[in-house]
Amino acid sequence: MQLIACPRTTVREGAGEAQRVSPSAIGSGVWRRNPKGGRQLHRAEAATIVEYTDRKQPQNDYPVHIVSPLLPARCCASDMVDVGDPQTDGPWIFQYRRCTTCGFTVRRFLGEIPDPSRFARLRATLKSSFVRNTE
């Protein structure tokens, strides 16, 4: 299977016909078997400022735009640094991490914002669960 990068989408060619996949979905989705053969990415695409391409030089214009290579290199294991402050996307808190050597960039999810209604239901369940019947 070959990945061909375009400015806003990536064309994945392999068994069957080519499919367009957003760069933000590469590496963050779940690959499943397609009934017609090959594999297909199943995941909602998240908004991102990172453009994954091998056609441009890596570039860091945070917080507007980051150009990153498609794949990490060996240097990424030791040379990743945080870029900017933590941000939120829905219930998730994340921060961009970028390799100082090759420019590969990813989102690192730091945690989830607690849902107050979920805690209220949990408290109600626990309150009723530990009540002893003395009759």
- For residue 32, is it within any domain? no
**Is residue 7, in this structure, part of any structural domain at all?**
no
Q: Is the pLDDT of residue 127 over 80?
A: yes
How far is residue 45's CA from residue 133's CA, in Å, rounded to a whole number?
50
105 belongs to a structural domain:
yes
Whether 36 is covered by a domain: the verdict is no
pTM: 0.56
pLDDT band at 8; cut points 50, 70, 90: very low
Total number of domains in the chain: 1
> Is 121 part of any domain?
yes
Residue 17 within any structural domain of the chain = no
In a domain, 113, yes or no: yes
End-to-end Cα distance, the chain: 69
**3, pLDDT greater than 60:** no
C-alpha dist (Å) from residue 33 to 13, 20, 44: 15, 17, 17
Residue 104 falls within a domain, yes or no?
Answer: yes
Tell me the residue range of the domain where 95 lies. 70-135
